[in-house]
């Protein structure tokens, strides 16, 4: 009989902001032989916390049971579950790596590094870097580019980090680089972008703005 391949999954869940809630979730994960390797708080407020838990599970056939067990905790709802590779265990290390690549790149290559880096930092399926209504760099398959440009042009007054503003698209993250006149946007369709992910892209934009002419 062949061995069962261990897999890593990210469980994104909404938890009540109360003592012991996370411990209950971890206990349910352990009940299906899952091991919690990492926890990240994506957003908190209104009595709720959005957590991402990186879980190692030794039987891919138990993923559905894992979702059921976590969702059975009182007040907890599972937003999304996805498999990941080992190099995505720590999103903050990914952000640091992108920042280092941006600093080390040749000046002419930095918009391209920013473009792919914004996608990596936000785990997005597409990204685009624009300036003066023109596309400097593109990754993946962005939606209608005139729409993206129109949104970026009209989003100067919006808070790119907070998710409270209901006018902010939940599947889009962006940053305006004021000094260099560049804007970067990235998006994905499978799950909403939350506050901590938006903050990483905003900080990446600040770094890029200091480096890009």
**Shared-domain flag, residues 146 and 52:** no
The domain that holds 128 is classified in CATH as 3.30.450.270
Strand, coil or helix: what is 21?
helix
**Shared-domain flag, residues 24 and 83:** yes
The pLDDT of residue 1 is above 50: no
Of 61, 88, 115, the last residue of a domain is 88
| pLDDT tens-digit readout, 117-149 | 999 999 999 999 999 889 999 999 998 999 999
**Shared-domain flag, residues 143 and 159:** yes
**Helix orientation angle between 91-104 and 195-211, rounded to the nearest 10 degrees:** 10
| pLDDT tens-digit readout, 145-180 | 999 999 999 888 887 887 656 667 888 999 999 999
Query: Is residue 2 in some structural domain?
Result: no
**Shared-domain flag, residues 137 and 45:** no
Instruction: Output the six-digit token pair for 177.
Output: 């680089």
Return d(Cα 194, Cα 176) in angstroms, integer: 18
pTM for the whole structure: 0.84
Helix (H) or strand (E) holding 137: strand 134-139
**Shared-domain flag, residues 103 and 17:** no
Residue whose pair of structure tokens reads 């996370």 in the numeric block: 22
Of 88, 110, 126, the last residue of a domain is 88
**Shared-domain flag, residues 65 and 101:** no
Of 51, 72, 88, the last residue of a domain is 88
| pLDDT tens-digit readout, 79-120 | 999 998 876 778 889 999 999 999 999 999 999 999 999 999
Q: For residue 92, report the phi and psi dihedrals to the nearest 5 degrees.
A: -70, -35
- The residues facing 57 across adjacent strands are 7, 34
Range of the domain at 183: 91-211
CB 129 within 8 A of CB 111: yes
């Amino acid at each position: 009989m062949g061995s069962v391949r261990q897999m890593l999954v990210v469980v994104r869940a909404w938890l009540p902001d109360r003592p012991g809630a996370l411990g209950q979730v971890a206990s349910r994960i352990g009940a299906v032989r899952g091991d919690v390797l990492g926890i990240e708080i994506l957003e908190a407020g209104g009595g709720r916390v959005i957590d991402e838990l990186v879980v190692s599970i030794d039987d891919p056939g138990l993923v559905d049971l894992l979702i059921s067990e976590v969702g059975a905790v009182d007040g907890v709802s599972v937003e999304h579950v996805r498999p990941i590779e080992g190099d995505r265990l720590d999103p903050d290390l990914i952000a640091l790596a992108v920042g280092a690549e941006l600093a080390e790149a040749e000046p002419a290559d930095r918009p391209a590094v920013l473009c792919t880096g914004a996608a990596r930092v936000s785990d997005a399926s597409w990204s685009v870097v624009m300036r003066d209504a023109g596309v400097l760099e593109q990754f993946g398959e962005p939606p209608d580019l005139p729409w993206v440009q129109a949104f970026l042009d009209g989003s100067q007054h919006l808070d790119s980090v907070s998710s409270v503003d209901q006018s902010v698209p939940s599947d889009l993250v962006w940053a305006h680089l004021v000094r260099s006149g560049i804007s970067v946007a990235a998006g994905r369709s499978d799950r909403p972008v939350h506050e901590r992910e938006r903050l990483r892209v905003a900080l990446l934009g600040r770094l890029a703005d200091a480096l890009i002419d």
